[in-house]
């Protein structure tokens, strides 16, 4: 149906503009009539597109117009973070900041060692951080890298503010490698004590937990585990 296709395009258009930071929190969207004219579509189609964005937490409708949420309940998916690394060399969304709570060389759990294809007893770089936007905590994450990367990118073991967001890009530049394969896995569960503390939740609160594997022909470049607080929306496009 043509209307269905246009509805999706409109919602995707504004969703991406909000997520990229082009439309900042509090920004006013064009009127429904203006959107109808720009997209040459019906008022019903525009209304459906905006309703979807409102349900997802991106916008709010008021008698004065439609605005980007001041404290939106969305964050970037791993796919979107990788796209930002490739585009602007930062895995954080515009307006999002991060605080590194741990960074060290250590012997990883067996399953992480298997993912990184390490020998028994080998170490790996482990980084832990909390990201947020304003007063909202958007993600708690633990990242793993092969130990030799630490010699090439000393900031992997640095917890100083302001150096976290560009680390993936620095790793790719220093190693000369390029991410050619990416996989995400996600599941819903209850937060453990460490996750609850990081996200400001009660132990046992519902979260969306996930992991990403970014690799090339040589193996894993970055393995990350992350979790999102309740009602946090993520999404990404893909080719059918």
What is d(CA 43, CA 35) in angstroms, rounded to the nearest whole number?
9
Q: Dihedrals φ, ψ of 156, to 5°?
A: -60, -25
Residues 6+ apart with CB under 8 A from 184: 77, 78, 79, 210, 211, 212
pLDDT of residue 232: 87
Residue 4: the pLDDT is 53
Q: Give domain 2-68's CATH number out of 3.30.420.240, 1.10.3720.10, 1.10.287.610, 1.10.10.10.
A: 1.10.10.10
Specify burial of residue 213 (Cβ count, 10 A radius: 0-12, 13-18, 19+): buried
Please list the ranges in the chain whose pLDDT falls under 70. 1-4, 20, 72, 239
Look up the pTM and report it. 0.80
Tokens 């976290």 identify what position?
Answer: 164
- The predicted-structure confidence for 180-227, as pLDDT tens digits, reads as follows 999 999 999 999 999 999 999 999 999 999 999 999 999 999 999 999
Strands (DSSP E) along the chain, which ranges? 59-62, 65-68, 97-106, 124-133, 136-146, 181-190, 206-216, 219-228
| Percent helix / strand / coil, the chain, rounded to 5 | 35, 30, 35
Contact between 128 and 100 (Cβ < 8 Å) = yes
* CA separation for the pair 159, 104 (Å, rounded): 9
Answer CATH for 78-228 from 3.40.50.720, 3.40.640.10, 3.30.379.10, 3.40.1410.10: 3.40.1410.10
What pLDDT does residue 3 have? Answer: 45
- Are 47 and 35 spatial neighbours (Cβ–Cβ below 8 Å)? no
CA–CA dist 201, 65 (Å, integer)? 33
For residue 95, the model assigns a pLDDT of 81
How far apart CA 212 and CA 45 sit, in angstroms, is: 35
What pLDDT is recorded for position 8?
Answer: 85
- Please, where in the chain does CATH 1.10.10.10 lie? 2-68
Residues of the chain with CATH 3.40.1410.10: 78-228
SS3 assignment, position 186: strand
Q: Is the dihedral of CA 101, 104, 110, 111 positive or negative?
A: positive
């Amino acid at each position: 149906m043509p209307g269905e296709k246009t509805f999706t395009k409109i919602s995707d258009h504004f969703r991406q503009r909000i997520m990229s930071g082009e439309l900042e929190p509090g920004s006013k969207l064009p009127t429904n009539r203006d959107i109808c004219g720009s997209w040459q579509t019906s008022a019903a189609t525009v209304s459906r597109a905006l309703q979807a964005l409102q349900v997802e937490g991106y916008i709010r409708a008021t008698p004065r117009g439609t605005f980007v949420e001041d404290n939106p309940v969305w964050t970037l998916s791993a796919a979107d973070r990788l796209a930002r690394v490739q585009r602007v060399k930062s895995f954080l969304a515009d307006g999002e900041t991060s605080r590194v709570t741990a960074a060290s060389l250590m012997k990883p759990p067996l399953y992480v060692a298997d993912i990184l294809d390490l020998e028994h007893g080998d170490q790996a770089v482990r980084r832990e951080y909390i990201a947020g936007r304003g007063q909202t905590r958007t993600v708690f994450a633990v990242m793993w890298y092969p130990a030799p990367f630490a010699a090439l990118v000393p900031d992997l073991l640095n917890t100083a503010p302001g150096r976290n967001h560009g680390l993936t890009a620095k790793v790719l530049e220093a190693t000369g490698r390029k991410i050619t394969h990416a996989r995400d896995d996600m599941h819903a569960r209850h937060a453990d004590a460490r996750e609850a503390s990081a996200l400001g939740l009660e132990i046992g609160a519902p979260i969306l937990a996930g992991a990403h594997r970014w690799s090339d022909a040589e193996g894993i470049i970055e393995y990350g585990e992350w979790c999102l607080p309740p009602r946090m929306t993520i999404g990404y496009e893909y080719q059918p």
